[in-house]
Amino acid sequence: MLPPDRAVSPRRAWLLAWLGGPLIGIANGSLRELAYKDRVGELTAHQISTAGALGLFAGYFELLARRWPLPSTRQALEVGTAWLALTVAFEFGFGRYVAHTAWRELLADYDLRKGRLWPLVLAWITLGPALVRARSVRAYEQRRASHESPSSSRITPESSSRPRPLADPSS
């Protein structure tokens, strides 16, 4: 992972962190192939693997958001869109030109009517950074509101002898 250096912008850190995505995909696919595909069948294995990928990316987004919080929803959506473009380019570029997979086979994973759930992973990769950011912002605002609530401002024996700080006019 990248060093927590503030000289690296959050957007740049997230874009570089996309390189972890293929590693997540390879690990998830390897687990599918080695652990349960033969027992549950191809389609069910892909569906289970999709759920695993969603969870792994959610955890990865949480880690990235803690280390390099994106400053705006717009930047989070830009990062998600970039991740989507990089992922699709990688999938089709590698699949077609390195693994020599047929276009028909590459496109098969996009067919929701046949139970293929790969588009859900792409949707999560696109929207996940913004959704994780929104959840973080909401949690921060709730913590802040609970510290400013009237019940937390009552005078106790410990606090009555100390002067109370003035409210910050910028908040």
Q: What is the mean pLDDT of residues 135-151?
A: 84
| Averaged pLDDT of the chain | 88
Q: Residue 118 pLDDT more than 50? A: yes
DSSP string of the chain, one letter each residue? -----TTS-HHHHHHHHTTHHHHHHHHHHHHIIIIIHHHH-HHHHHHHHHHHHHHHHHHHHHHHHHHS--S-HHHHHHHHHHHHHHHHHHHHHIIIIIS---HHHHHHTT-GGGT--HHHHHHHHHHHHHHHHHHHHHHHHHHHHHHHSGGGGS--TTTTTSPPPPPPTT-
List all residues 6 or more positions away from 165 whose beta carbon is below 8 Å from its beta carbon.
none
What residues contact 61, with CB distance under 8 A and at least 6 apart? 128, 129, 132
Note whether 83 and 129 are within 8 A (CB). Answer: yes
For the entire predicted model, the pTM comes to 0.80
Mean pLDDT of 121-149: 92
Contacting residues for 6 by C-beta, under 8 A, at least 6 apart: none
Residue 151 confidence (pLDDT): 56
pLDDT: is 3 or 118 the higher one?
118
Condensed to tens digits (0 to 9), the pLDDT of residues 4-48 reads: 555 789 999 999 999 999 999 999 999 999 999 999 999 999 999
Query: What confidence category does residue 160 fall into, taking pLDDT thresholds of 50, 70 and 90?
Result: very low
pLDDT tens figures, 78-111 = 999 999 999 999 999 999 999 999 999 999 999 9
Q: What pLDDT, on a 0 to 100 scale, did the predictor assign at position 48?
A: 98
Helix axes 73-93, 10-17, angle to 10 degrees: 20
